[in-house]
């Protein structure tokens, strides 16, 4: 499984290939330009307010500072403008009938050792099905030895794939399940297959876009979309070049159309970054006030859909929380007050879920959100232990945490929670021991015994035996006698035995009059 690399968002976000100067392009898609901005309810404020409300409920002091601060810092309309302008073309429009291709790398550095192609395909299907009006029409796992090449597959497999896609009626898009396609590959595929082509990055971003409610999430998504816009710009430029219109200068400005578009994108990026920086400052303020009020903060994190929101709802009774069976249902960091058994109040922080194989740009864009994790007093790592990929998901989460440079004290004290045990049909068993120091071994032996008894279909019974009969010696021979409590006056004993169902049947037949005591 590929490690998610976390880079601080101030570092360069884009791969070098996207930064090469080029010549010209048509204007960027502006499907929403000119429309009045959609004013959605400001859940960012509402959420801050919900946490503030909790503080108020707890008798804390006024919260006007945050509200004023927020109002001064960033207008809703400014965020909406950034969010609604320049949506990457193609993906956001209506419904899609998707053909999924998973390139299965057989060996080399890109081979996935921790997972299987089938499970990766299942996750890709999950991503598509998360989206309203998107359906999977067909899917294929195809092996490749050359994932780095423009066409990803060898000649034979590429032809086979093209035949399949063209032969499937109604396909409107192909989802190539790699983290990021180069703009050259994207262009090649779109030309060959005649439909839109998406990679994991663009699909996940689209899910984010559909779920975003708060200013911060919208800005982070707008920032993460910039590499997509740059790729599209490159492809559009290549189209224009073919028509011979590439390198023309715009009316004496000394800039080609492409350079103008590049500059506009750069300016847009700067605006988004500075808006995010304002929100980051506000977040910092909220954090310091939390500290000031001395409510410990517990960040609840884990793979997407593992049940973080459900858990916080259960711990706090906050009916405002809405868990959904959807990947990336939570995109906004929210804070919810809960009480511990000693009546101590803690603030649970609901966080955005993790996913394997996300390009680092996406994580970068959400770095401000993830900063909350670093500043908490305790981490709770929720795992969906009913998921077939639960072990890989854990490895993935731990990788991200490592790269986030979380303080050791937080990683050491992190509580791992196994969720969805109701779907397992059994209780999960975890025993803490030190084999070297011989700690916890009695508990381990008890757990082993309990499970062995269960798995071999044996029972632990208390049987009353008559000491003048051969019952006791029979039990010593046919079962495991654990304990014998003798009643000398009655000439009897209560014998604790581990006995198989068959042996118990024979015992009852032989010594009919015996009473079984449990
Ligand atoms: N059977 C079962 N389902 C659960 C449990 N906990 C959560 N779920 C379900 O799992 C789905 C995802 O739950 P959420 O709480 O939204 O998960 P999340 O980790 O917050 O997900 P994201 O915000 O999308 O990353 C929902 O359909 C929940 O009802 C559980 O203990 N058992
Ligand atoms: Mg959630």
Is the Cβ–Cβ distance between 365 and 359 less than 8 Å? no
Mean predicted confidence (pLDDT) in 332-348: 85
CA of 308 to the centre of ligand 1 (A): 7
Closest CA to 305 of 321, 333, 329: 329
Closest CA to 375 of 283, 442, 287, 456: 287
**237: CB partners within 8 A, 6+ apart:** 22, 23, 24, 25, 246, 258
- The predicted pLDDT at position 447 comes to 79
- The predicted pLDDT at position 335 comes to 85
Lowest mean pLDDT among 24-33, 261-270, 418-427, 504-513: 24-33
CA 333, CA 312: separation in Å to the nearest integer?
Answer: 12
Residue 377 has pLDDT above 80, yes or no: yes
- The predicted pLDDT at position 140 comes to 95
> Greater confidence, 140 or 71?
140
- CB of 346 shorter than 6 A to ligand 1: no
CA 168, CA 20: separation in Å to the nearest integer?
Answer: 37
CA of 486 to the centre of ligand 2 (A): 59
For the ranges 5-9, 21-25, 374-378, the one whose mean pLDDT is highest: 374-378
Give the containing element (helix H, strand E) for 227: helix 215-242
Question: Which residue has a Cα nearest atom 26 of ligand 1?
Answer: 325
Task: Say if residue 127 is exposed, middle or buried (CB neighbours under 10 Å; 0-12, 13-18, 19+).
Answer: buried
- The predicted pLDDT at position 436 comes to 82
Q: Coil, strand or helix: which one is 265?
A: helix
Is the Cβ–Cβ distance between 180 and 199 less than 8 Å? yes
Lowest mean pLDDT among 104-118, 207-221, 415-429, 478-492: 104-118
**226: CB partners within 8 A, 6+ apart:** 13, 14, 265, 268, 269, 272
Residue 142 has pLDDT above 90, yes or no: yes
- CB of 327 shorter than 6 A to ligand 1: yes
Is the Cβ–Cβ distance between 232 and 292 less than 8 Å? no
Lowest mean pLDDT among 257-261, 268-272, 502-506: 257-261
Q: Tell me the percentage of the chain whose pLDDT exceeds 70.
A: 74
Residue 384 has pLDDT above 60, yes or no: yes
Handedness of CA 374, 367, 76, 312 (dihedral sign): negative
The distance of Cα 26 from the centroid of its chain, to the nearest Å, equals 37
> Greater confidence, 404 or 124?
124
Mean predicted confidence (pLDDT) in 264-286: 82
CA of 292 to the centre of ligand 2 (A): 27
The structure tokens listed for 475 are 């039990």
Question: Which residue has a Cα nearest atom 17 of ligand 1?
Answer: 307
- The predicted pLDDT at position 124 comes to 92
Ligand closest to 307 (CA) is: 1
Each residue of 55-73: pLDDT tens digit?
323 222 222 233 334 444 5
Confidence of residue 16 (pLDDT cuts 50, 70, 90): very low
Atom of ligand 1 minimally distant from the CA of 330:
23
Is the Cβ–Cβ distance between 179 and 105 less than 8 Å? no
The structure tokens listed for 392 are 């890989």
Question: Which residue has a Cα nearest atom 16 of ligand 1?
Answer: 323
CA 228, CA 212: separation in Å to the nearest integer?
Answer: 18
**11: CB partners within 8 A, 6+ apart:** 364
Question: Which residue has a Cα nearest atom 11 of ligand 1?
Answer: 325
Q: What spatial distance separates the first Cα and last Cα of the chain, rounded to whole Å?
A: 51
Which letter, b or e, does each residue of 182-205 get, where b requires 16 or more Cβ atoms within 10 Å of its Cβ? bbebbbbbbebbebbbbbbbbbbb
- CB of 211 shorter than 6 A to ligand 1: no
Question: Which residue has a Cα nearest atom 2 of ligand 1?
Answer: 420
Count of helix runs (H) and strand runs (E) in the chain: 17, 13
- CB of 323 shorter than 6 A to ligand 1: yes
- The predicted pLDDT at position 43 comes to 23
- CB of 307 shorter than 6 A to ligand 1: yes
- The predicted pLDDT at position 160 comes to 94
The structure tokens listed for 342 are 């000693």
ipTM rounded to 2 decimals: 0.99
Q: Where are the alpha helices (DSSP H) in 106-154?
A: 117-130
> Greater confidence, 311 or 353?
311
Is the Cβ–Cβ distance between 347 and 372 less than 8 Å? no
Q: Where are the alpha helices (DSSP H) in 375-512?
A: 390-403, 408-413, 441-455, 471-478, 501-510
Domains (range + CATH), the chain: 293-423 (3.40.50.300), 454-517 (3.30.70)
Handedness of CA 69, 74, 76, 77 (dihedral sign): positive
Q: Where are the alpha helices (DSSP H) in 317-440?
A: 360-365, 367-374, 390-403, 408-413
Ligand closest to 325 (CA) is: 1
What residues pair up with 337 in beta bridges, in sequence order? 347
- The predicted pLDDT at position 478 comes to 92
- The predicted pLDDT at position 364 comes to 67
- The predicted pLDDT at position 22 comes to 24
- Give me the helix-helix angle, 43-57 and 257-293, nearest 10°: 10
Each residue of 100-136: pLDDT tens digit?
999 998 766 666 666 788 888 988 998 999 888 899 9
Is the Cβ–Cβ distance between 97 and 172 less than 8 Å? yes
Residue 14 has pLDDT above 90, yes or no: no
Atom of ligand 1 minimally distant from the CA of 323:
16
Mean predicted confidence (pLDDT) in 347-366: 76
Mean predicted confidence (pLDDT) in 223-249: 73
Question: Which residue has a Cα nearest atom 4 of ligand 1?
Answer: 420
Pairing of strands 378-384, 458-466: unpaired
| pTM of this structure | 0.65
Residue 486 has pLDDT above 80, yes or no: yes
């Amino acid at each position: 499984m590929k490690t998610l690399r976390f880079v601080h968002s101030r570092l360069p976000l884009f791969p070098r290939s996207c930064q090469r100067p080029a010549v010209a392009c048509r204007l960027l898609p502006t499907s929403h330009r000119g429309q009045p901005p959609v004013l959605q309810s400001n859940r960012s404020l509402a959420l801050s307010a919900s946490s503030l409300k909790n503080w108020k409920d707890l008798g804390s002091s006024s919260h006007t500072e945050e509200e004023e601060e927020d109002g001064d810092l960033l207008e809703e309309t400014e965020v909406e403008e950034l969010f609604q302008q320049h949506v990457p073309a193609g993906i956001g429009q209506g419904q899609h009938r998707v053909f999924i291709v998973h390139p299965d790398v057989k060996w080399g550095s890109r081979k996935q050792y921790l997972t299987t192609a089938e499970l990766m395909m299942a996750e890709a299907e999950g991503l598509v099905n998360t989206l309203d009006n998107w359906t999977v029409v067909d899917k294929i796992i195809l092996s490749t030895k050359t994932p780095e090449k423009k066409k990803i597959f060898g000649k034979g497999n590429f032809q086979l794939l093209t035949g399949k896609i063209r032969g499937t009626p109604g396909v409107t898009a192909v989802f190539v399940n790699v983290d990021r396609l180069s703009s050259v590959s994207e262009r090649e595929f779109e030309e060959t297959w005649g439909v839109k082509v998406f990679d994991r990055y663009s699909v996940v971003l689209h899910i984010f876009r559909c779920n975003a409610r708060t200013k911060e999430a919208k800005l982070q998504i707008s920032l993460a979309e910039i590499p997509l816009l740059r790729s599209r710009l490159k492809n559009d430029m290549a189209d224009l070049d073919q028509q011979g219109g590439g390198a023309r200068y715009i009316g004496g400005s000394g800039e080609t159309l492409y350079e103008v578009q590049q500059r506009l994108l750069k300016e847009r990026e700067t605006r988004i970054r500075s808006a995010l920086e304002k929100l980051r400052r506000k977040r910092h303020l909220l954090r310091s006030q939390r500290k000031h009020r001395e409510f410990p903060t517990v960040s609840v994190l884990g793979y997407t859909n593992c049940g973080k929101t459900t858990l916080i709802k259960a711990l706090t009774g906050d009916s405002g929380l809405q868990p959904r069976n959807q990947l990336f249902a939570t995109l906004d960091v929210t804070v919810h007050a809960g009480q511990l058994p000693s009546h101590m109040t803690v603030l649970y922080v609901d966080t955005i879920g993790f996913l394997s194989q996300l390009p680092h740009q996406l994580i970068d864009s959400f770095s401000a959100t993830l900063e909350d994790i670093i500043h908490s007093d305790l981490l709770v790592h929720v795992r969906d232990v009913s998921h077939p990929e639960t072990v890989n998901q854990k490895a993935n989460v731990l990788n991200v945490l490592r790269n986030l440079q979380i303080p050791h004290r937080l990683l050491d004290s992190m509580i791992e929670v196994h969720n969805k045990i109701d779907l397992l049909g059994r209780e999960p068993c975890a025993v803490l021991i030190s084999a070297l120091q011989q700690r916890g071994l009695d508990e381990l032996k008890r757990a082993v015994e309990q499970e062995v008894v269960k798995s071999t279909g044996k029972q632990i019974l208390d049987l009353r035996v008559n000491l003048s009969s051969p019952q006791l010696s029979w039990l010593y021979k046919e079962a495991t006698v654990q304990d014998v409590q003798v009643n000398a006056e009655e000439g009897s004993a209560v014998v604790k035995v581990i006995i198989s169902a068959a042996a118990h049947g024979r015992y009852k037949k032989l010594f009919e009059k015996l009473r079984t005591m449990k």
